[in-house]
Structure 1
Amino acid sequence: MAALLGAPVLLVALVLSIVLAVTVGPADLSAGEVWGSILHHLGFGTSDLSVLRDGIVWELRLPRVLTAAAVGAGLAVSGAVMQALTRNPLADPYLLGLSAGASLGAVLVLLLGVAISLTVAAFSGAMLALLGTLLLARSLGVITPSRTVLAGLAVSSFAGALTSLVIFWNTQGDSYRQILNWLLGSLAGADWGSVKVAWLTLLLVGVPVILGGRVLDAFAFGDTAAAALGVHVTRTRWLLLAGTALLTGAMVSVSGSIGFVGLVLPNAVRLVVGSRHRLLLPLSALLGAILMVWVDTGARSLFEPRELPVGIITVLVGAPVFMLVLLRNRERA
């Protein structure tokens, strides 16, 4: 019952986190002013902020915070699904080579000037990496979780090597910093286009995956048990893999490669609420969103005027928290 009540509490915490995170920064903004600006742009009432301060809220900070929330939720859900499908607690959203493929696509745009947007290039790279992983796994015979993992590792290593080669051969001057920020994860360039990509994918792909938590419970005991429970194993696995790939690819395309969230957060939630995915998935999504909002806020504000890549903060903050969760739940770990 406590776990069921946790979702509404976390939803309220997420809304409050979004508003409070927008207030953080050099401009002195209050939560009331942020609410006023949001309601004004939604067609309710007027805003007392100047044009400049209203632009800081609506054009700069709010799109970034909303993108961060969607990315955190999407990566957490993707990680939980991958761990269920592969029956491997060390699986993460990037297991199928998605991150490496997205990184290769982004680096080609940043360094070689390929005439497409960074978001499109990163998403295309992620999808091509997924296709390569699945084709390789299929060439080995019947697609199984272990073959898929091995194929993903091979494709990820190959794409990573190509990325390193392109960087080594073409990088000059300060372009290293721009590439490094993307490879370690950054939401500095988030705008309303990023919000649309992240939230539409989360709503159209992530929500149906979350609602299918009972199906994932069936996979916990293996394919035979899942089939006995009435699950069409092959079709369901393909649908979930495709959904997870689309979700991860969209998130990586707007944020870069942010590690830790999809790997550790579902495991931390599992230690607290158990392995029932009808609870695990929504709670992971909400906690992932809250975590990413505050991690990104810290990345842009703790060391002003310098901004840290988000991926560094996720590990520095998340690893100690996960250690504490492990210690407090040592009997269940």
Structure 2
Amino acid sequence: MTLRPGLLLTLLLAIGLLCVLAGVGVGSTGWADLHDEGMAVVLWEIRLPRSLGAWWAGALLGMAGAISQGLFRNPLADPYLLGSAAGAELAVAITLALTGVSAQNASLLAQVGLTGLAFVGTLVGVGLTLILARGAEQSLRLLLAGVVVGVVLNALTNLVALWTPDILRAMQSFLLGNTGLLGWNSVGVMAASGVVALAIGLLGSPALDALTLGEATATSLGMRLPLARLLLIFAFAMATGAAVAQTGVIAFVGLAAPHLVRTLCPMLHGWLILLSAAAGGALLLAADVLARALIRPQELPVGLVTALLGGAYLTVLMHRRGAVRR
């Protein structure tokens, strides 16, 4: 089935709106009782910002996934490819190890801000990758540098956890993804980051289109590839950093959203980035609603739900393509 980009964008935004309504209605005790006067505060201050925040986090990851896949010409590239998630994990682990996770240090963590430190850790991870790769001139060197930085930073995170095992429970929420603490401030940060990243991504989309023909052809077409790569890396690093800082590490959304969009509607990268954002937002928000509803009154980690759904989708896609080739 092939859809026009405009129609697909409308459908994805409509699905996202329906998921927002479901997210506002569904809570730990079931559907909201609109006749309860106190429920208005819960809906406005807790459920609505959580639902909008989950949509924006998914949109950021979907957008970052589309940019990274186009930049590296690899359909398996995801937003965490250049050490961004590993840098955020290490920053959170070091902060928890130094300040502790006791109630006495809760105010200090609130002042310092784990989300801000996670964002800084994301940028540090990407920066180390660029330094190790000596810039953004060669995609292969950049990929290898990202793998090396990710492995080293993950090893350091494990070392910190081994040194202070008390942080493991606090780290688990970050590593499995958590939308329960999203508020209006989180929505504002992610929306602002998303607008900037989307603008840069759309500006650099002609370079991504040219890269599909090869680096030599793209250069012959007048594309300034090193500058374009740096701008696009900054865009998906900002998008990934904002999402990871607010919700933790959520798997498969950045990988599955561009795949889903390309399956429904082959297109140039400008539309792909925009539609991947809409698809990622709908996917993560739907997973968040499902995570709240499955074992109510408890909640599943949303990253666990996205990993299961994304793995199932990619498995079906792999077998379908294998059957077509036969």
- Cα deviations across residues 69-107 of structure 1 (Å, max 9, x unaligned)? 111111111111111111122211111100000011112
2:3 matched to which residue of 1? 2
1:244-323 to structure 2, matched below 5 A, reads 244-274=236-266, 276-323=268-315
CA distance in structure 1 between the partners assigned to 2:97 and 2:186 by the alignment: 21
Distance 1:159 1:177 in 2: 19
Residue 149 of structure 1 corresponds to 143
Checking the alignment, whether the CA contact within 8 Å between 1:271 and 1:332 is kept in structure 2 is no
Look up the match of 2:61: 75
Cα pair 1:268 1:325 within 8 Å, conserved: no
Give the Cα–Cα distance (whole angstroms) in 2 for the partners of residues 112 and 17 of structure 1: 39
CA distance in 2, matches of 1:145, 1:243: 16
Deviation (angstroms), 1:122: 0.2
Describe the superposition over 1:98-126 as per-residue Cα deviations: whole angstroms up to 9, x where unpaired.
00000111122233227620111101111
Taking the aligned partners of 1:282 and 1:329, their CA distance within structure 2 comes to 25
What 5-or-longer segments of structure 2 have no aligned partner? Answer: 100-108
The equivalent residue for 1:40 is none
Higher mean Cα deviation, 72-81 or 317-326? 317-326
Q: Is the 8 A contact 1:126 1:249 kept in 2?
A: yes
CA distance in 2, matches of 1:221, 1:182: 39
TM-fit CA distance, 1:211: 5.7
How far 1:27 moved relative to its partner?
Answer: 5.4
Q: CA deviation at 1:275?
A: 5.0
The residue number in structure 2 matching 1:162 is 156
User: 1:213 matched to which residue of 2?
Assistant: 205
Matched with 2:221 is: 229
Percent of paired sites with the same residue: 37
Kindly report the root-mean-square deviation, in angstroms, between the aligned alpha carbons of the 2 structures.
Answer: 2.2
The one-letter code matched in structure 2 to 1:3 is R
> How far apart are residue 204 of structure 1 and its match?
1.8
One-letter amino acid of the counterpart of residue 19, structure 1? L
Give the deviation of 1:227 after TM superposition: 2.2
Equivalence for 2:104: none
Give 3-state SS (helix, strand or coil) of 1:305's partner. coil
1:107 — aligned with what?
93
Tell me how far apart the structure 2 counterparts of residues 134 and 75 of structure 1 sit (CA, whole Å).
Answer: 20
| Partner Cα separation in structure 1 for residue 15 and residue 197 of structure 2 | 23
The answer to whether the 8 A contact 2:174-2:248 is kept is: yes
Q: Report deviation, 1:15.
A: 1.5
Give the aligned residue type for 2:93. Answer: V
* Contact 1:133-1:152 within 8 A present in 2 as well: yes
Q: 2:169 aligns with which of 173, 177, 184?
A: 177
**Structure 1 unmatched runs, 5+:** 34-47
Q: CA deviation at 1:253?
A: 0.5
What's the TM-score once normalised by structure 1's chain length?
0.87
Larger RCO, structures 1/2 (Cα 8 Å, 6+ apart): 2
The answer to whether residue 119 in structure 2 is matched with residue 123 in structure 1 is: yes
Q: How many residues matched?
A: 312
Taking structure 1 as reference, are residues 318 and 184 closer, same or farther at Cα in structure 2, changes over 3 Å only?
same
What is the match of residue 24 of structure 1? Answer: 26
TM-score of the pair, normalised by structure 2? 0.88
Name the CA distance, whole Å, in 1 between partners of 2:288 and 2:97: 25
Name whichever of 52-61 and 227-236 sits farther off. Answer: 227-236
How far the C-alpha of 1:277 sits from its partner, in A, is 1.5
AA partner of residue 245 (structure 1): A
Cα distance between partner residues in 1 of 2:213 and 2:197? 25
1:141-181 CA distance string (max 9 Å, x none):
x7311111111111111111111111111122xx4332111
Counterpart residue type for residue 249 of structure 1: G
Is contact 1:98–1:248 with CA below 8 Å preserved after alignment? yes
2:52 aligns with 66
How far has the Cα of 1:307 moved from its partner? 2.2
Aligned-partner Cα distance in 2 for 1:256–1:296? 13
Amino acid at match of 1:97: G
C-alpha distance in structure 1 between counterparts of 2:24 and 2:204, whole Å: 33
Tell me if the contact between 1:109 and 1:117 (Cα under 8 Å) persists in the aligned partners.
Answer: no
Pair 269,329 (structure 1): closer, same or farther in 2 beyond 3 Å: farther
The equivalent of 1:38 in structure 2 is none
Whether the 8 Å CA contact 2:200–2:231 is kept in 1: the answer is: no
Give the Å deviation of 1:49: 5.5
Q: Which residue of 194, 200, 207 maps to 1:202?
A: 194
Do the aligned partners of 1:85 and 1:216 also contact (CA within 8 Å) in 2? yes
Amino acid at match of 2:53: T
Matched letter for residue 9 of structure 1: L
